[in-house]
Amino acid sequence: MVVHAVIALALVAALAFVLEGTGAAVGPLAGGTWAFLARAALVGLILTALPATLTGITERHHMYVNWHPSHRAKLVLSLLLLGLVVAEVAALAVADGATSLTSWLGLAVVVGNPVVCLGLSFYGLRITLGRQAIARTSYVPDGLRQPPVDVLASAAEHVADRARIVEVLEEHSP
């Protein structure tokens, strides 16, 4: 579940960086708040991406025999994100004041991190949903089968059967 925090923090950092760079104010929230939020989100991103990457590697060995290309892509993107964010935090630590949105740092925070997170989401969903490609599912509705299947008719065959009651407490009885 920590991967959701990684994605959220990347988006928060990007938004706060843009708001800081443009000097936008939303009510009492102004430049200093956006600067703090952007930097805090980047540090939080490192702190959540590191365990997310490490647990992804260790859990992967429990579930799969070999590394599928989707797993390798996720590992490369995870390491890229970690390296990118560490470089961004290091650059912000030595920066004097606000940074430009058109600098490498601005592009990395506003475009780079979210794009890498988008790639991580793409491959994560491919792995999680058990599909290795974006294609139509093999599901065909019963009414479109040849010949069509009437689910109610097949269920009606069993209406007269007695209900099967399973006593949970008696299942373990010797």
Query: Mean pLDDT score of the chain, rounded to an integer?
Result: 84
Confidence band for 133, pLDDT divided at 50, 70 and 90: low
Q: How confident is the model at residue 173, as a pLDDT?
A: 54
Quick one: average pLDDT of 164-171?
Answer: 72
Which DSSP symbol is given to 112? I
Domain extents for the chain? 2-128
In this predicted model, what pLDDT tens digit does every residue of 67-97 receive, in sequence order? 778 888 888 999 999 999 999 999 999 987 6
Compute the CA torsion angle 71, 77, 80, 84 (nearest 10 deg).
-150
According to the model, what pLDDT value does residue 61 have? 59
Residue 102 reports pLDDT greater than 70? yes
User: Do residues 126 and 68 touch, judged by C-beta distance below 8 A?
Assistant: no
Question: What average pLDDT score do residues 21-38 get?
Answer: 85
- Average pLDDT of span 53-75: 75
At 68 the pLDDT is 76
* pLDDT higher than threshold 60 for residue 132: no
Q: Is the pLDDT of residue 153 over 70?
A: yes
Q: What is the pLDDT confidence band of residue 136, given thresholds at 50, 70 and 90?
A: low
pLDDT of residue 163: 83
How high is the pLDDT of residue 135?
58
Q: Which of 94, 111, 92, 107 is nearest to 35 (CA)?
A: 92
- Integer-rounded Cα Rg, in Å, for the chain is 25
Q: What pTM was estimated for this model as a whole? A: 0.69
Mean pLDDT score, 92-112 = 87
Confidence of residue 174 (pLDDT cuts 50, 70, 90): low
- Tally Cβ neighbours within 10 Å of residue 116: 22
**Cβ neighbours of residue 91 closer than 8 Å, sequence gap 6 or more:** 99, 105
